[in-house]
């Protein structure tokens, strides 16, 4: 058993334990393995243990990895399994939207209408709709990306009307908290916002994805209602 496989199993155990403690079904929480700065070999290692969803912060690095893994799968048809699912989770500038629209399956970091419009326009027609989360700056961090909570509902309304996109939910990266209770309180703010947007009733389909929780706070996020945790360090190790 490799280190990455052992770590993956440990993270899955953490998710299961947190779900049981919160009275939730462990199947309701997906694991996104954040593979930024790690090469294709690390992704292949995770794939060997059934991991299929991967998150990338840097667009150019992510596209290079997507293409490399696609070629690897073509050379190893017996090892393909279910298709890989690639999520762009880093800040997204206008000059990178075409690469994301053409190569990724999900974008979790949309925080303004212009970016969503460009993704919609640049999504190739032969591909399925790009799955999208709005990034919310839930705790007002001065250096954080994300739409403010007060503006999130209006942005959701505009994004939901765009073609070639499917609005799936919200993503948040709050500042590190010094206790479980503090982390839980902030994550609950995101869950409340998620529920209020769904309750507004204008979406063609209710949002179903609440992407919050990382290596250090996934338990608190799951207790607050997260449906997707984004874990890198606990799976792949520290980054230099």
Length of the chain: 240
Look up tokens 């992704």; give the residue: 43
Cβ atoms of residues 137 and 144 within 8 Å: yes
* 3-state percent helix, strand, coil for the chain, nearest multiple of 5: 50, 15, 35
pLDDT score for 46: 96
pTM: 0.96
Greatest Cα-to-Cα distance within the chain, rounded to the nearest angstrom: 49
Cβ atoms of residues 171 and 204 within 8 Å: no
Per-residue pLDDT tens digits of the chain, which is 240 residues long: 899 999 999 999 999 999 999 999 999 999 999 999 999 999 999 999 999 999 999 999 999 999 999 998 888 876 667 789 999 999 999 999 999 999 999 999 999 999 999 999 999 999 999 999 999 999 987 767 899 999 999 999 999 999 999 999 999 999 999 999 999 999 999 999 999 999 999 999 999 999 999 999 999 999 999 999 999 999 999 875
Q: Classify burial at 46, counting beta carbons within 10 Å of its beta carbon; exposed 0-12, middle 13-18, buried 19 or more.
A: buried
Domains of the chain, with CATH numbers?
A: 3-15+37-230 (3.20.20.10)
pLDDT score for 73: 86
SS3 label, residue 140: coil
How far is it, in rounded angstroms, from Cα 236 to Cα 59? 19
pLDDT score for 143: 67
pLDDT score for 140: 86
Task: Give strand pairing partners of 165.
Answer: 130
Angle between helices 149-160 and 180-200 (to 10 degrees): 40
Q: Classify burial at 6, counting beta carbons within 10 Å of its beta carbon; exposed 0-12, middle 13-18, buried 19 or more.
A: exposed
């Amino acid at each position: 058993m490799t280190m990455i496989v052992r770590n993956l199993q440990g993270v899955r155990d953490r998710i299961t334990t947190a779900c049981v403690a919160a009275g939730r079904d462990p199947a309701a929480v997906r694991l996104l393995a954040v593979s930024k700065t790690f090469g294709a070999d690390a992704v292949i290692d995770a794939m060997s243990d059934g991991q299929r969803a991967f998150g990338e912060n840097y667009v150019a690095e992510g596209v290079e990895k997507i293409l490399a893994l696609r070629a690897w799968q073509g050379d190893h048809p017996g090892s393909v399994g279910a298709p890989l699912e690639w999520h762009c989770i880093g800040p997204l500038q206008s000059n990178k939207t075409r690469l994301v629209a053409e190569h990724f399956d999900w974008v979790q970091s949309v925080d303004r209408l212009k970016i969503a419009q460009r993704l919609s326009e640049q999504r190739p027609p032969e591909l399925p709709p790009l799955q999208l989360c709005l990034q919310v700056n839930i705790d007002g961090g001065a250096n954080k990306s994300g739409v403010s909570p007060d503006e999130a509902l209006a942005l959701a309304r505009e994004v939901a009307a765009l073609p070639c996109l499917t609005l799936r939910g919200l993503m948040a990266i709050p500042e590190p908290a010094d206790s479980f209770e503090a982390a839980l309180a902030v994550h609950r703010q995101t869950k409340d916002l998620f529920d209020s947007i769904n309750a507004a009733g204008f979406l063609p389909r209710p949002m179903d994805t609440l992407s919050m929780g990382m290596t250090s706070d996934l338990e608190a996020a799951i207790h607050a209602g997260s449906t997707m945790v984004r874990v890198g360090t606990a799976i792949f190790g520290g980054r230099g």
